[in-house]
Amino acid sequence: MTKAKADGQDPLLALLDWRNTPTEGLGTSPVQRLMGRRTRTFLPTHETLLRQPSHQETATKLAERKKRQAQQYNKKFRPLEALKCGQAIRMRLPGREEWSLGTCMKALGNRSYEVEVCGRRYRRNRRQLRLTPETAPPMSLVELTPPESTLKPAPNLTEPGPPPPEFHGETKTERMPPENEMGTELEPQRIETRRSERRRRPPLWHQDYHMN
């Protein structure tokens, strides 16, 4: 489409030709796999090319293509060794280029591990971690100290507790105000409104006229 714009041609026609171009290894174009037929273009097309392709054949070729891609990918890569709890590892912290020393805490499954680096916990994939022959740093105090619930035994709820203390003395009763006092307190105080007064001074030109 960039080349079509540079040549002054319609980019939509270039996109139409690309959609009708067969994909390498499949023998069918993207529009054939989507719509089951070719779309009309300005290129001369033979009658045999307008026939609907076999979807089963397309699925088989697509699976073979993915298999060849996996074989090419596996030539350069191999399964990494699984990590164990307490092993020393190296990991890149966010925003840094160097690999920081840390400790593998536990495996989380699916090649995912929980590691501790610089006193903080992270969850990383195996390919983001590197084994190192160095000595692992000491674990944090949170991991070494057992929880408080394991140190203190649970109280026995069946044993009766001490009786509540008895209170000896006079009880104070609140004094209720009489009805007349309550009525005077609850009755709102009326506020009389008055009209503001100010001295009115007529303009000077009124002196030339007799006004009642």
For residues 115 and 103, the answer to whether their CB atoms sit within 8 Å is yes
Q: Token match 């000077």: residue?
A: 204
- Rounded to whole angstroms, how far apart are CA atoms 94 and 1? 38
Residue with tokens 């290894």: 25
Any idea which residue has 């290129």 for tokens? 43
Reduced to 3 states, what is the DSSP secondary structure of residue 30? helix
Tokens 């307190």 map to which residue?
185
pLDDT over threshold 80, residue 121: yes
pTM: 0.38
Supply the pLDDT for residue 203: 86
Residue of higher predicted confidence among 48 and 64: 64
Sequence-ordered alpha helix ranges (H) in the chain: 2-6, 11-19, 30-35, 55-74, 141-144, 148-151, 179-186
Specify the pLDDT at position 101.
92
Is residue 147's pLDDT more than 60? no
pLDDT by residue (tens digit) across 161-200?
666 666 555 555 555 655 555 555 555 566 666 666 777 8
